[in-house]
Structure formats: C-alpha cells, structure tokens
A and B are shown apart, each in its own frame.
Chain A
Amino acid sequence: MYPANFKYVRAGSVAEALSLISSEDDAKFLAGGHSLLPAMKLRLAEPSTLIDIGRIGDLRGISYGSGDEQDCIGSLTTHATIASSKLACALSEAANGIGDPQVRNRGTIGGNIAHADPSSDLPTVLTALEASIRVEGPGGARNIEAGDFFTGLFETKLEDNELITLISVPREGSGTSSAYAKLFNPASRYAVVGACASVTLDGGTITQARVAVGGLTPMAIRCKGVEAALEGSTADAIKGASSNVVSDVGDDILEDVHASAEFRLGVIPVFVARALQSACDRASG
C-alpha cells in the first residue's frame, strides 16, 4: 500500500510552516505521521502537499512549570516521551497505552489531538485535566481549552491553516492526582471506552474532581454530573457518582463492529469508577 503522490516541503520553523500552509494548495502538516500516513496509505487521505514540521526543534519536549505554573508540552513531543515524563499521572499512563512501543516512539501529542480520533486516549485525558491547547495561524496565536477544542468525530476547532504548537497541563500538587482507565480494543489497542479522572483530596474529602470519557462518544466529553456528585464526598461515593456518566454523555453513543452502544454505555461507569479510585489512591498516597 502506497500513498498517492504529493509535494513534500520541510519547514524549519513555525513561521515557515505557517507561511507554507498559506501558500500551498491542499496542504497538510506532517509531524510523526502515525495518524496521517496510515490514512494516506489506504488512500483515505490524498493531500497535494505535505509540510514536514518534524524538524522544528522548538516544538519538541516538555518544560516543567514550577509552583502554580503549568507544564508545557511541545506539540511534537512523542507519546514515549510523555509516557516516561513527570507530567500529570493520567497523561503518562494514557500515553503508555497508546498503540505499542514503536508507535509511541513516532506518534506525537499534537498529531494525535489534531486527528481527533474518537477512540484515541489523549483527548479524553486532556479534557479531564483542563489542558489548554495553543494554536498558531496566520492571524497569530490563540489558546483553546481542551474541553472546547474537540468538536465532533475527527473534528476540532483547529483551522486548516493553523498549527498546534503547545499543550499546557496543570501540575499535580500535593493531594492532587489523576488516572486513566480504558477497555482496550484487542486488535487496534485503541479505547473501546476510556475514562480519565483527576481529583484533589483534602483529608479524605474530594475537594475537586475532573472527569472525562471517550471512546463511546464522537468526541471526549466532560462529566459534570459525576464530578458534582463527588465534590465534598469521600472515595466511598465513587461507585454511585460514576453511574452519572450515563446521563453526562448524552444520546450520541458510537456503535461499531467492536462494541454496541449498549455495551459501551453499560461499562463506562466501571471505567470511570476505576479511574477515580486509582486517582484517589494516588492522591492520598
């Protein structure tokens, strides 16, 4: 299987990348290529031009904040780097479950979220963690909250001529932690359903809970009903609160050859509860 032909250009900087995307017809950015190249090999995507941003050093790597500052992840940072990082627990945990080691060595966080696959793990995690996504375009830069960034099945707020440059995630201070739990699709390793929870504990009381789910909906969804039922309670409330996920996710539940909507909806409370429990254990530990 071979991609259809294309024009290949390499961008040395973000500015050059943005200038190229404006001047080339039907162009796409190429980062690690682990979402785009498989689609191109199957000829599901046939861009006329590929702008290779893979060598823009500024976009690669993690810079850890201090105090209240956020941790900043360059969009070209690979899943492998994130998996072995000191970023929020859920993020490294989820990154470690993406694909396989070779995929994690090439796949990037920016490429992953730009692709916005509903079964992908990172959108769920970033939504729960209230990450902020910085995108740059011809008109300048803007920050988009992860909860707003994903707008539908393979759809985001990213414009065709914009580039994701940075993802900022809150640091987990004392008493705060997070976790990600998913049901693996045994073939693809994507999430049939996935749940991410971030909690802050104060002497056993959950003072803040952030929960998001993915895999069963066209895009990651924040679960306010679950969160509301937890805040002010203890970990004992997890099981009851997790069942609220069913109303949080609404009616648009995905169904495919791997799982029915009924099953996805049936097991998502289990994974929400597991993520919450694990996050609470870590936050108190």
Chain B
Amino acid sequence: MPRFVGKSFKRVEDPRFLQGKGSYVSNLQRPGMAYVAILRSPHAHAKIVSIDASAAEALDGVVAVFKGQDLIDGGVGQLPCGWVVPELKLPERWPVIPDVVKHVGDAVAVVVADSPYIAEDALDLIEVDYEPLPVSLGARATTEYRAPQLHEGIPNNTAYTWALGDEPAMRKAFAEAGHVVTLDLVNQRLIPNAMEPRACMAEWHSTMEEMTVWTTSQNPHPIRLLLSAYTLGIPENKLRVISPDVGGGFGSKIFHYPEEVIVPWVARAINRPAKWVSTRSEAFMTDSQGRDHVTNVKMAMQKDGVITGLHVQTWADQGAYLSTFAPLIPTALSITLFSGLYKIPGIWGEMKGTLTNTVPVDAYRGAGRPEASYLLERVVELGAKKMGMDPIAFRRLNLIPAEDFPYQTPVAFQYDSGNYQGLFDKLEELSDYNQLREEQKAKRAKGKLWGVGVAGCIEASGPAPSALAGSLGSAVGLWESGTVRVHPTGKVTALTGSHSHGQGHETTFAQIVAEELNIDLEDVEVVHGDTGRIPFGMGTYGSRSAAVGGSALVRSAERVREKMIKIAAHQMESRPEDVYFDDETRNIKVRGATDEGMAFGEVALAAYTAHDLPPDLEPGLDETAFFDPSNFTFPNSAHLAVVSIDRETGEITLEKYVGVDDVGKVINPLIVDGQLVGGVAQGVGQALWEHGIYGEDGQLLTGSMMDYAMPRADHFPHIKTGRIETPSPTNPLGVKGAGEMGTIAGTVTIANAVMDALAPLGVDHVEMPFTAEKIWQTIQSHSDS
C-alpha cells in the first residue's frame, strides 16, 4: 500500500508563505543595489525621432540613463522565438527599442537610480520626440489590404500560416453531410495577471566575471540558455539564474522578457547590483497576454447526428512581436485538439499567426487548448440543438469509446487513455442532471432565463517526446531532469528542473521520493528554481511537472534504490534479488532473514564511507535521470454550470458548478482539487468578465484592475469536483496534467450555460465576456421574437 502517493498532505511550503517569509524577487536586496525603471512608449506605433535624457541624468540620485542603441552597442542581442514553425517570419525585437515602437509599453529608455522613487521621477524628465505611425489592430483585420505594416519583410502582417489534419476526409464529410452547423466566434484577449508582478535583480561578480540573475520565471534554465546564447552573451557556466518563490505564473512567466536582459546588462555596466520590479500598470502593458483568436468553424454531421467533419479557420493575434513560444499556442497546442472527446474522421484546421500593434500574446493558462475546446464545444452545442437532442445525449453519441484507446486522431495526437462515457455518468450523477432539466422546465414556464450548460473537454499536457516537439517547431527538448541525492546521514535532497510557483511541488515531489525510498516525508527536501544547484530543467508549463518532472524523480529514486540494494546485499552477505525495502520497519532487509536488516541511513553512510562496497560500485548515492516521456498525457473532463440571468439588467449569476475530471492517477488530492477549482475560476473569469480591450489608437482601455475585472470571492458559488481515474500509460506515475483543465473547461461550460439560458429567446451565440450590457443588448434585440 502506498504511504504517500494518492494521499492528501498539507503543503510543506506553506508555513513560510503563511508567515510572510516567501522569498519573492521583489523582497530580495543586495548591498549597494541600484533601482531600474523603464520609460515606456505611450504610442502603439511610432518612430522615435529623438530622446533627450539630460534632465533625468542631472537629477540627484540618478546613476545612469540608457537608450536602445546603448544596449545594442553594449552587445545585447534580439529576443529570440523558441518555437519555429515552417516558413516563420521572425520580427526584429530588441530589449530596448532603438527606432520604431510597436506597442504601448515598448521599452524606450532605462533609468538607473539610487531609489525607486527617484527612478520614477527621472522617467518624467526624459523627453522623447515621437512621430506617430498608423496603427494596425485586429487578428484578422491586420492581414487585410491597406492595413498598416508593422515589420519590414512580413507582408500582410502575417508571421506564419499553419494547417493540420486530413483535408480530403474533411471535404468528403461536408460533401456527404446530413447537417452542417457553422459559427463565427472570437476568443477574446486576456491579461494573465499573476498576483506577483514580474521582477528581476542581477549581480555582477566582476572578479570572477560571473553573473547572478534572480527572475520571476517558471523556467530558469531556459532563461539562462536564452540569455547566454542570444541576448546577453554571458557563457552559461558563468551565469546563474535563480527563480525563488514566484507568485503565480499561468504561462505569463515562461517567456524571456526584455527586462531579464536589461537588468543584468545594467548591473554589469554600472558594476552594481540592480533590481527592477514591475508595477501592475507595467504588467498590463508588458506581460505577454492570452487568447485573441478570430475563428470560423464548420461542423458536418450525418442525418443521425454523428459528427463526421470539422473545418476551422483561425486568425491568431500574436501582438507586436513573436513572444518566446507564441507560434506554438495556436498551432501544435490548439489544432491538435480539434477532435475533442469525439470520433471525427475529417478534421482540417488552418490558421494564420498575425501581428498587431498590441502587447505580444503567448501562453496563458490552457494556452491554445481552451481556444480549441471553446470552438469545438460551442459548435457541438449547436449541433445538439440542430438535432433537437439533449446536449449530453448528443455528446455521448459521438464520444470515443473506452475500448478504442490508444486512439489516433486525424490531427496528429494519439490519446493515451480515457473513459469518456464514464465522465458523463459521473457528471450526471454529481449534478443530478435530470432533476436540473426538470427544474429548468418549471423555471422557463415562469419566464425565467435559467440555463444548464455542459462541456466535455480534452487537454494535451506534458508536451512530449522531445523528438515530436522538435518536429512541430520546438527549439528545445521537453524532457525533465530529476536528481535524488541521499546524504550520508540518510536525509534526501531532490532536485527538480520543474518549477513551483503555486503548484506545491515541494510537497508532491517529496511524496513521490519518500514513497520510492520508503522514508519519511520530512526527510526529503525538494529544491527547484536555481540553475546553480539543479543539473538542468525545462521548467513548468503545459501541466507537465508531475508527468515529466515527477517521473524523472521516480527514475532517479529507482536508481538510488537499486544501488542501495546492491550495497545492503553486499554488507549483509546476501544476493541483491533477496534484499528489499521493508514497508513495516522501513529497514532494508534480506528476505527470510530474522534480523533487523540495515536502516536506510546505515546504507547511505556505507555508500559514502566506501569502506566495504561491492566491487565495481562507485561510492556515493546521488542519481540523476532525464525523463523524456513517450507521449503527451491527455486529461479530459465533463463540466456543468447553472446560470440565471436577470432579464431586466442582463446580469448573470453563476448558481452551480460541477466539474468531473480524469487527470489519471492523483498524487495529492488536496492539491489537485485546488488546481482544478482555481482553474475553473480563471475559466469562468474569461466567460463572464475579463477582456483586454484595445482602443482604435492601440491604447489598452482595460489597463488596470479598476477596469479589467478580476474574479473575486463573491462571484462564485461552491465549485463541486469529482474524478474518475484512467492511468496514463506514458509515465511511471500514471498521472496526467491537472493544472489547466479547469480553465479549459470552465470558459466554454459557462458559455454553453448562458446560451442555454438565452435559448428561449432564439439566441445561438454571444461573444464573450458576457457582461451585463452584452446580455441586456441581446435580450433587447431578441425580446420581440
């Protein structure tokens, strides 16, 4: 029986956070530190004619002011793109813009001062003469004839095109279709808004010519790689990147940002530690944003409602530049999921990655998969409606049967495992679905707008294997490293290349290692986020940590275990095959022997004293594994929401939410439920409130939390969760990703509930977010029908 895996443990990292002892980058100080502030473009598109920084430079307490050309002359490189699809046209992107700014918030000049207050004063004293240029906006509109062009050599503002699937099968499906449903939709721009604003601090050790960079990153090793190979040019062996406690990421802290180049460059230039902390206002105009797809979707069905074809065309707004993983999101993380939970033979997805004068768009929780689920589950909903079928019955008709796994879709992926009918069984049971529909009849009879929405969603998490990622455009491998280091006293340090910024790895990974080594949870210390301590790592995103990072630790722990068995067998004069880790005593014993065997610590000490090791066995007890899974994992879900709409004002109340998920084996149910519920809240946020709105001049009109509606406590009912488990065969833990499913499912579940509520008025579709005004306008325009 497992002692740790599968059980809820309180998080070991919590006491420090609960007492205000988290070491976030903004809390860190170095002696003699200077403060960096960045002057940002107020224009969405403009030529920098001149910059006069003399008044700022003269201000008492200002150390230096740097312009874009200063950094270029000082050797910085352009920010690279780490996902290169075929025929990608890569825009130029300097950390500080020397010539033409392309979105509001582009860095124009850098102030270094003795205090952050003075640095901000100095920004006000820099005079920049801009020559405004015409602005291009809109994922699709930016590709149109006469749209202002952003970058030389990128005609029609189109950085790339991509397509995937079986086009002939799609054409055949539509030619033979009994019914076709079509939908035009927008998946709106979102602002990630992790609660901790980004920050970066750097210290140059001039005698050793070494640089240490502290940055709020989800993946310090790739940042070090990019800093070294592209932007800063300091050799990797002279560069240490530390991401200590990071206050949430949701994708927005994956990317290599200009400030991660600027701050260490400044620290070296002035030979003083330097720190920059983003304000929330800066975060709104510089953190990579999410979604922003314009899509046309068509679905073909047979006369009986069996889905046979899907044709999707998407224009994905990538913002002004291609952020680190931008081209991945609408391509290999979105089109590949168009099959959803269904058996659809003819799928063809086409998309264009386009450029506009807005903040770059990249992964945001779910990243491409919410967009796929949204378009598919909206059009499936319309299919059910067209067939006059109950939405769950219609889905059940089309689900991939449990016996078909592994299931090869027409869009590249092979699903690992699942029981999709079982998801809906559980959902119907947990939500009392039939009763809800009865209740709805009664409410509708009284004229109430009351909707029940369901959605069934698929996710691909833990992108793998590296060879496949490479063939899809990845510039990096997507394996993970794990080191298990048993110290001579028997205490264990587990080093992981994954990064925890809220996910609870220090607990979950300790559970994994303690389980493998048959020791106490308290005896395992998990270390992450420091390139100076961890061999290498790819970081945390795409719900990969447990499946890939956790598995790497399983592998390294297995190696430690094997070595300990060899040592113990040698010392107890027995054969390794007769030696085992005894669950009851926690000792390492010889099968059939009556003695106590050896304690874990005794074997550990023996490995280090090396006085009596088996021949050919090296001393020490420190194993590293690099785990590259054979496939993604495919978490799946069925969610349900109940909403009521105030007919007079258009306000929506979320009355009930139930989510059933299959995330494979669960290591810590408490943490997994926390991820699912938190994810749902973010999904609901997109459906009901959140919207990054740009004005015609490219100004972000929802540029603060006064205007961008963040979900709050009083917006939600109790969210009920349920699970079924089909273990993933692609990793030793049997786990699937759990971090993003809530978000993927939450948005479209709410959308379907709102449309169900509005169905009596003859409404098929409304664009998100469903603000009171949008719903009110919809009710007004449909109330006479």
Contact with B along A173-191 (1 / 0, CB 8 A): 0000000000101111000
Looking at the complex, which of A145-153, A207-215, A263-271 is the stretch in contact with chain B? A263-271
B37 and chain A: residue at smallest CB distance: A2
Interface residues of B in 278-332 (CB under 8 A from A): 279, 281
Given contacts A183-B649, A267-B648, A267-B649, contact A1 B709 (CB under 8 A): no
Q: Quick one: CB contact mask for A9-50 with B, threshold 8 Å, 1 for yes?
A: 000000000000000000000000000000000110000000
Interface residues of A in 216-272 (CB under 8 A from B): 257-260, 262-263, 266-267, 270-271
In the bound complex, CA of A53 to CA of B662 (Å):
59
Mostly helix, strand, loop or mixed at chain B's interface?
loop
Residue of B693, B708, B710, B772 most packed against chain A (CB within 10 A) = B772
Q: Are B121 and A257 in contact (CB under 8 A)?
A: no
* A5 adjacent to chain B (CB < 8 Å): yes
A267 pairs with B124, CB closer than 8 A:
no
Alpha-carbon separation in the docked complex, A262 to B776 (Å)? 11
Q: Let me know if B707 and A266 touch, CB within 8 A.
A: no
| Contact B772–A183 (Cβ < 8 Å) | yes
Q: A1-B120, A1-B279, A260-B773 are in contact. Are A270 and B710 (CB under 8 A)?
A: no
Q: Shortest distance in angstroms between A82's beta carbon and chain B's nearest beta carbon?
A: 21
Contact A2 B120, CB 8 Å, known A186-B689, A188-B707, A267-B776? yes
Which B residues between 710 and 756 are near A, CB-CB below 8 angstroms? 710, 712, 715
B405 within 8 A of A: no
Which of A4, A186, A192 is packed against the most chain B CB atoms within 10 Å?
A: A186
User: In the complex the two chains form, is A266's CB within 8 Å of B120's CB?
Assistant: no
Contact A187 B120 (CB under 8 A): no
Q: Which B residues are in CB contact (< 8 Å) with A183?
A: 649, 651, 772
User: Does B182 make an interface contact (CB < 8 A)?
Assistant: no
Q: Does B630 contact A (CB under 8 A)?
A: no
Contact (Cβ within 8 A) A4 B708: no
Chain A residues positioned under 8 Å from B772 (CB to CB): 183, 192, 263, 267
Contact for A187 among B708, B776, B780, CB less than 8 A: B708
B773 — which chain A residues lie within 8 A by C-beta? 258-260, 263
Whole-angstrom distance between the Cβ of B494 and the nearest chain A Cβ? 40
Within 8 A of A (CB), among B686-714: 688-689, 693, 701-702, 705-710, 712
Identify A258's interface contact among B705, B707, B715, B780, CB under 8 A: B707
Which residues does chain B contribute within 8 Å of A267, judged by CB atoms? 648-650, 772, 776
Contact call A257/B693, Cβ cutoff below 8 A: yes
- A270 and B649 form a contact (CB under 8 A): yes
Q: Does B116 contact A (CB under 8 A)?
A: yes
Given A186-B689, A187-B708, A257-B702, A1–B281 Cβ distance below 8 Å?
Answer: yes
Task: List chain A residues, Cβ under 8 A from B702.
Answer: 187, 257
Which residues of the other chain, B, contact A186 by a CB distance below 8 angstroms?
688-689, 709, 712, 715, 771
For B715, list chain A residues within 8 Å (CB): 186
Contact size range, B = 20 to 34
The answer to whether the Cβ of B777 comes within 8 Å of any Cβ in the partner chain is: yes
A185 to B279, CA, bound (A): 23
Of A1, A187, A188, which is in contact with the most chain B CB atoms at under 10 Å from its CB? Answer: A187
CA distance A259 to B650 in the complex (A): 12
In the assembled complex, the Cα of A84 lies from the Cα of B116 at a distance in Å of 40
A266-B780, A267-B648 given; A257·B279 CB < 8 A: no
Cβ A187 vs Cβ B709 within 8 A:
yes
Q: How far is the CA of A104 from the CA of B688 in the complex (A)?
A: 26
Bound CA span A187–B708, Å: 6
Distance to closest chain B CB from A275 (angstroms): 13
Known: A1-B279, A187-B707, A187-B708. A266 touches B121 (CB 8 A): no
CA distance A259 to B116 in the complex (A): 37
Bound complex: CA A2 to CA B710 (Å): 23
Closest to A188 in B: B706
Instruction: Give the contacts of B111-148 with A (CB-CB under 8 A).
Output: 116-117, 120-121, 124
> Which residues of chain A are within 8 angstroms of B710 by Cβ–Cβ distance?
187
Residues on A with C-beta less than 8 A from B650 are 267
Q: Which of A43, A258, A259, A262 has the most CB of B within 10 A?
A: A258
Residues of B close to A257: CB separation below 8 A: 693, 701-702, 707
Bound CA span A259–B701, Å: 13
- Give min CB distance, A96 to chain B, whole Å: 13
Give the residues in chain A near B780, CB-CB below 8 Å. Answer: 266
Cβ contacts A to B, 28 pairs, < 8 Å: A1-B120, A1-B279, A2-B116, A2-B117, A2-B120, A5-B121, A42-B281, A43-B124, A183-B649, A183-B772, A186-B715, A186-B771, A187-B702, A187-B706, A187-B707, A187-B710, A192-B772, A257-B701, A257-B707, A258-B771, A259-B773, A260-B773, A263-B772, A263-B773, A263-B776, A263-B777, A266-B780, A267-B649
Task: List chain A positions with a Cβ less than 8 A from chain B.
Answer: 1-2, 4-5, 42-43, 183, 185-188, 192, 257-260, 262-263, 266-267, 270-271
Q: A186-B709, A257-B702 are in contact. List 6 more A-B contacts (CB 8 A).
A: A4-B121, A187-B689, A187-B706, A187-B708, A263-B773, A267-B772
